[in-house]
Amino acid sequence: MSQPAYHLRPNKAVDRLALVDAIRCLEGLAELAEYTYYTLGGPYLEDVRLLYEFFPQIGMVSLEREEAVLERQKFHVPCSRVELKRADLKSFVARYDPKDMKSIFWLDYTGLEYGNFEDFMALLAKVAENSMVKVTLRAEAGDYFDKPDEDVGQNAERFRRQFGAVLPTPTTDPPRGLVGFATLLQEMLQIAAQNALPSATGLMFQPVSSFCYSDGTGIMTLTGVICHREKRATVRKAFAKWDLANLDWKPPRRIDVPVLSTRERLQLQGSLPCGSGAGKTLRAVLGHLIEDSPKKTEKRLQQYADFHRYFPYFMKAIP
């Protein structure tokens, strides 16, 4: 019943706004009015609210299996066009028939189970051409180590047993760091996509972006478009000018935006965007450290430069 407060998590907010840009790129492939967005929206429907603000022409469906959460969704629903369905994702995917209608799915999981990969594979085999699928997984390597100083233990063996069907090799160990573990999860999703769409189908999953971040819990998220193999170049062209695009299965890009006050952001705003060495430039503009060393400060300010267009504002209000 307990849900993470994703609407108050800055890195998650950046990821959510990056999806807006990814959907905007879809306009190079088809009219957005031809799409329906499917989500595991959670109690606040924050992604639904955001997408309705930017793309009111897209139909939206939120899937929720818990009745109590569904009642909260009815309170937070941003418009009458959103369809709230009480449904389990696995059952919904099993019954799903797109009838050649284009879809955008966000499989936004809070955990990591092999069933997540099964859902992903089942969905890829069903959605129409030029549909978009985004999958988000828990990326906590510490879940699979018995002790902090242990290289391999029973939990790591459990990881190999649980995910063996999509591991690069049967002896793969879960890496310790967030980026390394997220990269492994991306490789596993790549294998799952290849299993779901073998060359004989003529279709493929073209990645368009991937990120990893932590707002208290490690997260890895991958977005891609299902297309005919001979039309891959058209899809890549639609996303080629997007500065956050990952079209070649490169490791996920880290999102680690700093906590800045409104005054600090206003101080930096006039210097953005800036070219190479943005972290050093912004440190000089700001005039003080936001971490415990100049190097760490510049690293975090580089993140702000990279993602400032997606950086959320959280404001205090008196009701």
318 domain-assigned = no
Number of domains in the chain: 2
CA distance 121 to 148: 33
**CA dihedral over 40, 46, 49, 54, signed as positive or negative:** negative
Same domain, 20 and 88: yes
Angle at 67 between CA 64 and CA 70, to 5 degrees: 55
Residue carrying the six token digits 């478009």: 225
Same domain, 268 and 168: no
Cβ 211 vs Cβ 178: under 8 Å = no
CA distance 283 to 268: 9
CA distance 99 to 27: 21
Same domain, 167 and 278: no
Same domain, 186 and 292: no
Note the maximum CA span of the chain: 60
317 domain-assigned = no
Domain around 129: 6-255
Alpha helices in the chain (DSSP H): 10-25, 46-54, 67-76, 89-95, 114-124, 154-163, 178-196, 232-239, 262-269, 278-286, 294-307
pLDDT at position 276 is 83
316 domain-assigned = no
Cβ 252 vs Cβ 179: under 8 Å = yes
Count the Cβ atoms, other than its own, within 10 Å of residue 261.
Answer: 9
Same domain, 239 and 223: yes
Same domain, 176 and 251: yes
315 domain-assigned = no
Same domain, 142 and 277: no
Q: Which two tokens stand for residue 103?
A: 């879809």
Coil, helix or strand at residue 315: coil
Residue carrying the six token digits 């799915």: 105
- Decide which of 233, 255, 277 is a domain's last residue: 255
1 domain-assigned = no
- Decide which of 255, 272, 301 is a domain's last residue: 255
Would you give the end-to-end CA distance of the chain in angstroms? 27
pLDDT at position 146 is 64
117, amino acid identity: F
227 domain-assigned = yes
pLDDT digits (tens, 9 = 90+) for 21-31: 999 999 999 99
Same domain, 242 and 288: no
229 domain-assigned = yes
102 domain-assigned = yes
Same domain, 298 and 205: no
Same domain, 154 and 273: no
CA distance 256 to 262: 18
Q: Which two tokens stand for residue 32?
A: 């957005």
Same domain, 162 and 297: no
Assign residue 147 the CATH number of its domain: 3.40.50.150
Specify the pTM: 0.92
Same domain, 131 and 210: yes
Residues of the chain with pLDDT under 50: 1-7
pLDDT at position 6 is 45
